[in-house]
Structure 1
Amino acid sequence: MKKLFLVFCLLTGFATKAQTYADRPFLQDSAEKFAYEEDEANVDLLQIASDRNKAITILSSQGLLLPYEKRIRQDVQYRPLIDMNIIALNRYQGQFVYLTDKAVLSNAWAGKLYINHSIKAPQAMGMGPDFLTLIAGESEFAVFKNNREVWRSSIKDLDPLSVKYDPNSGRFLLLTTGGLYQVDGGANTVKKVLDANNLTAFDLFGDTIVLGTTNGVQILDRKSFAPNKLDQKLPWTEITSVKNIRGNLWFGSTKGAFKLRDDGKYDYYASKRWLVDDQVVDLAEGPDGSVLVLTQKGMSKIGFVPMTLAQKADYFQEIQRLRHIRYGFTSELAMKTPGDLSTGYFHDTDNDGLWTSMYLAGELFRFAVTKSEDAKQNAYEAFEAMERLTALPNLKGFPARSFERDGYEVGLHANGFSEEWREEYVKKHGRIWRLSDDGLWRWKSTTSSDESCGHFFVYALFAELAPDKEWRDRAIHQIKIEMDHIMDNDWYLIDWNGKPTAWGKWNPDYVNKFPINVGDRRLNSTLILSFLQTAYHFTKDKKYKKGAEKLIKKYGYDENANRPATVIGFEEGEDLSNTWNHSDDEMYFLTIPSFVNYSFSEEQKEAHFTSAKSHWEVERSEKNPLWNYLFALSGGKNIDSEESAWWLREFPMDLIDWKIDNDHRKDLTKIAPNFRKQTYTEVLPGDERTLHLHNGAYRNNGGSDGKREYAPYIYLLPYWAGRYVDAISAPQDK
C-alpha cells in the first residue's frame, strides 16, 4: 500500500527520496517543578537527596521538607526528626543519614547508626566504607569508626563546606573556605593540598578533582593534586554545586544548572522552563535516572526518558487536541496565571489561517504515512475552519484572518500593533473586526500575504493527499476563488473597504518598486507565480497560466523570483526591508514545493529549483527541519537529516512561553550585530532558547511571563513532513 502511495506521490511531484534518519530512542529531558511558598522569606533551602526507595527529602533551615503535588511541604513522617536540629544531609548506601548538632544518625539499619560527636558547631560530614565517618565543625574535625571516635584534630579558622571519601586513596577530602585538605583517619594525618579562598563545592570525576569557585571551575589531578586548568568557558562561572551523577558531571550556579557533554560543551538548564528559579543551591541524583536541582525557591526533578521522535509526536498531538483547537483552528492558549494551564483560554491571532494551515499540513502528511482515520478527521475539521474564512466575509474569495462569535473578539485591532496604530487605522478605515451577514460572528480583516501563502500551500497539499474526491474538490475550489479574487482586483487583496490590505500586494507597481536586493521583490514574485501555477495545475484553466506569463514576460517576475537569495542585502528607506525577515523565510519555504513542482516547463522548473536551493543554502545554518523537509519536497536531496533530527530531539517538552536569557553565557561565542540577526557562532538547541515559531530563527533571548502555551504544531508539522519525504524512519524500538 505504501509503495503504491509513494508512486502516486512521485507522479504528482509531492514526494522525493531524502537521507533517512533512523528514529531510535534517545534520552528526552523534561522538568517537573515544585515551588516552596510557605514562609518563604524565613526559610533557606540547603540540601536535597533521594534514597533507594525513591523518596526525596530537602533539608531547610527549618527542618526537613518533601515535594508533593507541585509544592514543597513539611516532612512529618518521622516525628523525632521534627524536634532535631539537623545541620547536614548525606546519602550512604542508598539511605538518608543526618548530621545534627549532637549526633550522626539514620532511620535505616533499624536505627542502629548513632554517633554522638560532641563537635562544636558541626557543619559537614562524609562517610566511607564500613560507616567510617568524618565530621567537621568550627576549628575541629573528628573521625569515627564503629560509632566510636578514633581521632580528633583541629585546624585554625576551619570553616568546612563539604566532605567526601576518596576510595582511590582511602582518605577523606575536606573542602573549606580556605582550601582543600586531605585527611587520613588511619594514620591520623591532615594535609592541605590546595590553598584558595574562592572555593565553593567539589566532587571526584575520573582521575580528577573538580572544584567549583566563584569564578569558574578548577581541575586538580586526583593523585598528585596538581592543578590541570581553570575553566571559565561555562554557561556561568559563579559555581554553587558540583556533582558527579551517574558518571555525568553537573554544576549548579547562581544562573542555572548545566551538565558537561562528551563533546566538551554543556547542556544548560535555566529559566522557568526548567527551574523554579535560577539560584541553584544543591544537586543530587534522583530516582529513575533523574537529577534533582534545589534552588532558593523550590526544586526541579529533571527526568531523562527513552523516547523516539514518533513518541514525542504522539505526546504533542495529545496536547494539540486537548488544549489548542478553537472552532477547528489551531490556537494558542493564554493563561490568566503564569504557568497554570487550568487558567487557560483561547483567543484569536492575526495568523489563525496560517498556523492552522501548518497543523493541517502535518495531519495530511500523517495520514499519507499512516492512513490514520484520526489524522483524516483532524485534517477535515481544520479544513472546514479555513474554508469558513472566505465564507464569512462574503467578498468573493477574500480570506479573513480569523473569526470569533460577536462580542468575544480580542479587542478591535489586529494583534501585535500599537494602540496608536490601531486608533489611526480605525479612524481611517473603520473597525478591523467586521460583523458577518447573519449578525452572529465577527471576522478579522486586514489579511496579509502570509495568510494567503499558508492557504495556497495547504490547499494544494489537501488536493493532493485528501482521500475523498469531494473534499479534494472543495480545496481546489478554495484555490480558485482566492486566486480569482487576487486576479480580479489587479493583483491585490481588496478588503471590505475597497482598499488593498497592507501586505496583500502582488501588483507590479508595488513589487517592482523595490530594489533587487530587497527581499520583498523576490518573495512577492515567487508567491504570486506559485499561486498561479497551483491554480493552473488543479483547474487547467488557461487564464491562470496566461496571468503568470504576463507577469513573467511584461514585468520580469520570473527574473525576480529566480535571483539567488544571496542578492538580498541591507537597504534603508520607507517601506523597504532593512533586516533579514525570517517570516519571509517561512512564506518562502511553504511556497517552494508548488513553485518548483508545478512549474510550466522543465526549464522553468530547473530555474525555480536553483533559486529555491540558493535560499536553502542561506538558511541551512539554522538546522530548521521544516525548511529542510520542504526543500526535499521540492526536489532537494542532501537536506541535513541529522541536523534536522537534532532540532526535533532538542525541541522542549514544555511549550509555555517563559522568559529566557542567554546574554550572560561565557561558553558561547558572540558575533557582531548582523543583517540576519544571528547572535552566536552556533545555533542553540531549542530547549535552551526562547520558544518561538518557525519564523523566529536565531531568537535566543526574550519570551514573556509564562502566560501562554504555544501550539505543538511547531513540532508536528516538521516531524510528519520528515516522515513523508522519508527523511525520518518509522520508530525503531531497539
Structure 2
Amino acid sequence: MGLATKAQTYADQPFLQDSAEKFSLEEGQGNLALHQIASDRNKAIKLLSSQGLMLPYEKTIRQDVQYRPLIDMNIVAMTQYQGQFVYLTDKAVLSNAWAGKVYIKHNLKAPKAMGIGPDLLTLIAGEGDFVVFKNDQEIWRSSIDNPKPISVQYDPNSGQFLLLTADGLYQIDGSSKLARKVFSGTNLTALTLHDGSIVLGTTNGVQVLDRKTFVPIKLDQKLPWTEITMVKNIRGSLWLGSTKGAFKLREDGKYDYYASKRWLVDDQVVDLAEGPDGSVLVLTQKGMSKINFAPMTLAQKAEYFQEIQRLRHIRYGFTSDLSMRTPGDLSTGYFHDTDNDGLWTSMYLAGELFRYAVTKSEDAKQNAYEAFEAMERLTALPNLKGFPARSFERDGYEVGLHANGFSEEWRKQWEKENGRIWQLSDDELWRWKSTTSSDESCGHFFVYALFAELAPDKEWRDRAIHQIKIEMDHIMDNDWYLMDWNGKPTAWGKWNPDYVNSFPINVGDRRLNSTLILSFLQTAYHFTQDKKYKKGAEKLIKKYGYDENANRPATVIGFVEGEDLSNKWNHSDDEMYFLTIPGFVNYSFSEEQKEAHFNAAKSHWEVERSEKNPLWNYLFALTGGKNIDSEESAWWLREFPMDLIDWKIDNDHRKDLTKIAPNFRSQTYTEVLPGDERTLHLHNGAYRNNGGSDGKREYAPYIYLLPYWAGRYVDAIGAPQVE
C-alpha cells in the first residue's frame, strides 16, 4: 500500500484551539439568579448573583467569602476599571483596589447600572434618575423618561456616556450637563461599541448604529439566533449572547457558534466578559463557561487525543467508547462491546502504524501490536476457520446488540430466529459476538495489509499476512459468504454473485460489495502470491461482471423505488469504500486495471469532496490521488472538538445558515458546519448537524488520530512548526 504520490502539504503552524471549562450551580442553588460576570488583572473571576458574589471552583460555583464586608453589602452591579473590580451597591460605588480608597456615595433610591470613564468619571443610573461623579464629587444629577436603565458605557471617542433602556439609547454629557435620546427602538437588551459602530442587542436581532451620528446602519437578523441578551466587544471581537447560546463574529462575516453542553452549562446566556489568558467568560442561567483559546498545532492536538485514547479508550486492546452512568462525568465511565469493535480498532491501529512510519516511535509500535493482538483473537475464539467475531467479552459480562442502537425486542426476535448472538468459547471463559458484517471485514483487510507493509518485525508482518489468508479462505470456502456458527450467512457478510447482482446497478451495495471482494482478493494475492486468489477474482470479473460493477462511477448511485438499500446515501458505505480503495487500486493485477480502479475511486472521492473529510482525502492520496484539498482537510482537523462527549446538539433554529431542500445525500445546509458546532459522529456519518445524546458517551479519539497520522504519512500535513 505504498505511497503513490506526494500530496500538497499543509504547514502545521499553531492556531487558536478553543475549548471549554464549565462550572455549574450546585444542587440547592436553584433559586439563585446569576446576573454578571467579570475578571480582573489578577485573573480572578467573580460572578454577581441575587445572593451576592460567587466564584468558580472545581467545576462548581460557590459563594465568594474572601472580602467579608462585601458579604453584608447589597451589590447590584459590577464592572472593571484599570483591571480592578468596581462594585455598585444600593449605597455607593466602591472597590477593594487602590487601598480601598474608592467610595462614592450616590444617594440613588434604586441604582441599576454604572459606567466608568477616565479618572473615575462615573455615571450611575437608577430607576428614573442618574448621577455623574468626577473625582469623587457629584457634578450633575438628573432624570430620563424611561425609568429602567439596562446598561451604561463610556465612549472614549466622544468622551460621553451612553445609557441604554428598553426603548432607546441616550447620550449623556456630564461636562455640559446634557442628556438626549439619540435612538428610539423597541425591545432593546444590550449595548457595546465595536469598531466605528454602536451595537445594540434586541429580542429580534442586532441593531447597528453609526457611532458618531447614531444613524441606523442595519438590523442584522442573519444570526445563529436573534433573541439577543448580551453584546460585548472582547479584545476587538464582537461577541453576542442569546437565549440559544453565544457566538462570535468572524472576519468573513460569519459566526463561530458556542451552544449545547459541549460549550455551555445551558444555552440561556446572561452575560459575557473578557476572561484571563485570552479566554472569554460566558455566564448562563445555571452556571458559567470559560472558553479558552490556546495556541496549538495539529500535532499537539494529536498528542492530547493520544493521551485520552490510552487513558480511557482501551478495552482488552480494542478501541472502545466510554459509557458513563452520569452524564458528562468521566469518573463514572465503563467499557462494553460494540458491533464494530474490530473496525474501530483497525482504524486506531492504522493510525498508530502511520505514526510509526512517520516517527519510528516505539510507543506507536507497542500500541499497534497490542491492538493487533486483540484483532487477531477475533478469529481465534470462534474456531470457525477464519471467521472473525465482532467482539469478545468474559462470559457473563457480554452486553448484546441492543446496546448499540437495537432494541431488546429486536435482539429477542433475532435470537429466536437465528440463535444466540454471543457464543461460548472452547475454554468456556469467554463469549464471542457473532453476526459479523462486511464493515468488520473492510477494517480487517485494510489494516492487515497496512500492518504487513509497515510493521518493523517480520514475525509480526507474517502474522498479519496469515490473518489475511485465513479470512479470505473462509469467504472463498463458504461460497463468498461470512458463514456464522449456525451455518447461515451473516446479514451483511455477503459477496456471492446471486446476492450482489440481485441489486440494480444504481443501488450502492452492488458497486460496493464488488469493490470490497475484489480488493480483498487482490490483497490476499499481493501478500501470499497464491494464484487461487487471483483466479477467484478473475472468475468474479469475467463470469459475473464484478469489475464492471466496481468500476461504475459513484454518480450512478441513486434512489431506486422499492429498494431498502437505496432510500438515501449511506455514509457507512463511504467508510467501507475508502478503507478498501488503497488495496483496490494499489494491488490491482495490471496497470490497465489499476487505472480503471483509480478512476472509479476518484469518482467516489469527487462525490464526497464537499464534506471535507480528511480521512477520505488522505486515503484517496494513498491510491495516487492529487489535489486532495489539504487546506479543507486541515480545517476539519482544526475545528474538530476537544470535548468528545456525545452531547445533544441542535442547529435547526439557526438563521445564519441557508437550508436546502431534502435530498438523497441528507445534506441540510449549503455549507458543511465545523465539527465543534454539530453533533459528533464516527467517519461513517456525515451531514449530521442535529442529534447527539444525553452526555453518557465519550467517543474514542481515533476519529481524529487516524486522519491526522494518515495525513502525515502521505505528506499532506507537515511536521509541526513551533517556535
The 3-state SS of whatever aligns with 1:669 is coil
SS for the counterpart of 2:608 is: helix
2:297 is matched with which residue: 308, 312, 324?
A: 308
CA distance in 2, matches of 1:106, 1:640: 55
Contact 2:521 2:533 in 1 (8 A): yes
Q: CA deviation at 1:14?
A: 3.5
- Provide the C-alpha distance between the structure 2 equivalents of 1:349 and 1:164, rounded to a whole number of angstroms: 56
User: What are the equivalent positions in structure 2 for 1:668-707 lying under 5 Å apart?
Assistant: 668-707=657-696
- Give how far 1:471 is off: 0.3
Match for residue 396 of structure 2?
Answer: 407
CA distance in 1, matches of 2:519, 2:73: 75
8 Å contact from structure 2 (residues 339, 401) kept in 1: no
> Is contact 1:72-1:298 (8 Å) kept?
yes
Match of 1:446 among 435, 449, 457: 435
Query: Are 1:540 and 2:529 counterparts?
Result: yes
1:605 equivalent to 2:594? Answer yes
Answer whether contact 1:37 1:297 (CA < 8 A) is retained.
no
Q: Is 1:165 aligned with 2:159?
A: no
Q: What is the distance in 1 between the residues matched to 2:565 and 2:11?
A: 44
How far, CA to CA, are the matches of 2:252 and 2:434 in structure 1? 51
**Structure 2 residue aligned with 1:184:** 173
The DSSP-based 3-state class of the residue aligned with 1:576 is: helix
The residue number in structure 1 matching 2:379 is: 390
Moved more, 241-250 or 419-428: 419-428
Q: Which amino acid aligns with 1:430?
A: G
> Counterpart of 1:100?
89
Quote how far apart the aligned CAs of 1:412 are: 6.7
Contact kept, 8 Å, 1:14 with 1:597, in 2: the verdict is: no
Alpha-carbon distance in structure 2 between the residues aligned to 1:63 and 1:291: 22
**1:283/1:291 contact within 8 Å kept:** yes
User: Does the 8 A contact of 1:350 with 1:414 survive in 2?
Assistant: no
State the match for 1:571 in structure 2.
560
Amino acid at match of 1:702: G
Determine the structure 2 residue equivalent to 1:74.
63
Residues 225-244 of structure 1 mapped to structure 2, 5 A cutoff: 225-244=214-233
Note if contact 2:338-2:401 (Cα within 8 Å) is conserved in structure 1: no
Q: Deviations over 1:459-517 (max 9, x none)?
A: 00000000000000000000000000000000000000000000000000000000000
Q: Report how many residues are paired.
A: 723
Distance in 2 of aligned mates of 1:192 and 1:576: 65
RMSD between aligned residues: 0.9
TM-score by length of 2: 0.99
1:324/1:673 Cα in 2 relative to 1: closer, same or farther (>3 Å)? same
Q: CA deviation at 1:120?
A: 1.6
> 1:131-175: CA deviations, max 9, x gaps?
000000011001001111100011133210010000100100000
Rounded Cα–Cα distance in structure 1 between residues aligned with 2:657 and 2:526: 48
Whichever residue aligns with residue 91 of structure 2, its letter is K
Q: 1:46-195 to 2 correspondence within 5 Å?
A: 46-195=35-184
Tell me, yes or no, if the aligned pair for 2:581 and 2:623 is still in contact at 8 Å. Answer: yes
Contact 1:242 1:249 (C-alpha < 8 Å) held by counterparts? yes
Q: Does 1:495 align with 2:488?
A: no
Tell me how far apart the structure 2 counterparts of residues 195 and 499 of structure 1 sit (CA, whole Å): 76
* 8 Å contact kept, 1:413–1:431: no
Whole-angstrom CA distance in 1 between matches of 2:415 and 2:562: 26
Q: Which one of 198, 201, 205 corresponds to residue 209 of structure 1? A: 198
Provide the rounded CA distance (Å) in 2 between the counterparts of 1:272 and 1:36. 14
Determine the structure 2 residue equivalent to 1:252.
Answer: 241
Write the mapping of 1:441-520 to structure 2, written as runs, cut at 5 A.
441-520=430-509
Once residues 412 and 506 of structure 1 are traced to their aligned partners in structure 2, the CA distance between those partners, rounded to angstroms, is 23
Residues in 2 aligned to 1:315 and 1:490: alpha-carbon distance in whole angstroms: 46
Q: Aligned-pair distance for 1:425? A: 1.2
C-alpha separation in 1, matches of 2:114 and 2:294: 33
Change in 2 beyond 3 A, CA 1:414/1:183:
closer
For residue 196 of structure 1, report the CA deviation from its aligned partner. Answer: 1.1
2:572 aligned counterpart, secondary structure: helix
Q: 1:414 to 1:14 in 2, by over 3 A?
A: farther
Give the match's secondary structure for 1:606: helix
Tell me which amino acid in the other structure corresponds to 2:15: F
The answer to whether the aligner puts 1:657 opposite 2:646 as a matched pair is yes
2:281 is the counterpart of 1:299 = no
The answer for the alignment partner of 1:7 in structure 2 is none
CA distance in 2, matches of 1:730, 1:101: 59
Query: What is the distance in 1 between the residues matched to 2:310 and 2:4?
Result: 27
CA distance in 2, matches of 1:139, 1:165: 19
Match of 1:196 in 2: 185
Cα deviation per residue 1:558-578 (whole Å; 9 max; x = unaligned)? 000000000000013255321
User: For 2:199 and 2:401, how far apart are their aligned partners in 1?
Assistant: 59
Tell me the SS of whatever aligns to 1:617.
Answer: helix
2:345 aligns with 356
Question: 1:428-460: CA deviations, max 9, x gaps?
Answer: 111100000000000000000000000000000
In structure 2, the CA distance between the partners of 1:496 and 1:281, relative to structure 1 (3 Å rule), is same
Q: Residue in 1 aligned with 2:11?
A: 22
Q: Corresponding residue for 2:518?
A: 529
Q: Once the two structures are aligned, what percentage of the paired residues are identical?
A: 87
Partners in 1 of 2:564 and 2:134 — Cα distance?
80
TM-score normalised per structure 1: 0.98
Q: Are the aligned partners of 2:146 and 2:165 in contact in 1 as well (CA < 8 Å)?
A: no
Offset at 1:656?
0.3
In 2, Cα distance between the equivalents of 1:576 and 1:374?
A: 42
Amino acid at match of 2:59: K
Q: 1:632 maps to which residue? A: 621
The residue type paired with residue 73 of structure 1 is R
Partner of 1:276: 265
Q: Which residue of 1 aligns with 2:720?
A: 731
Q: Following the alignment from structure 1 to structure 2, what is the Cα–Cα distance between the partners of residues 323 and 265?
A: 36
Match 2:321 to one of 332, 335, 355: 332
Q: 1:517-575, CA deviations, whole angstroms, 9 ceiling, x for partnerless residues?
A: 00000000000000000000000000000000000000000000000000000013255
Deviates more, 1:195-204 or 1:478-487: 195-204
Q: Distance in 2 between matches of 1:413 and 1:383?
A: 27
Q: Is the 8 Å Cα contact of residues 412 and 433 (structure 1) preserved in structure 2?
A: no
Q: 1:15, CA displacement in angstroms? A: 4.4
Question: Aligned with 1:32: secondary structure?
Answer: strand
The aligned counterpart of 2:252 is: 263
Does the Cα contact within 8 Å between 1:125 and 1:136 map onto a contact in 2? yes
Letter in 2 for 1:106: S
Q: Retained in 2: the 8 A contact 1:271–1:660? A: yes
Deviation by residue 1:25-71 (Cα, 9 ceiling, x = unmatched) = 00000000000124333211000000000000000011000000110
Cα separation, 2, equivalents of 1:451 and 1:571: 27
Distance in 2 (CA, whole Å) between partners of 1:127 and 1:483 is: 76
Structure 1 residue 706, shift from structure 2 partner:
0.2
Structure 2 residue runs of 5 or longer lacking an equivalent are none
Select the residue among 205, 210, 218 that pairs with 2:207. 218
**Number of the residue aligned with 1:557:** 546
Aligned to 1:5: none
Give the gaps of 5 or more residues in structure 1: 1-11
1:6 alignment partner in structure 2: none
Deviates more, 1:38-47 or 1:642-651: 38-47
Asked if residue 641 in structure 1 is aligned to residue 630 in structure 2, the reply is yes
Structure 1 SS opposite 2:566: coil
State the distance in 2 between where 1:413 and 1:670 align.
Answer: 34
| 8 Å contact from structure 1 (residues 122, 137) kept in 2 | yes
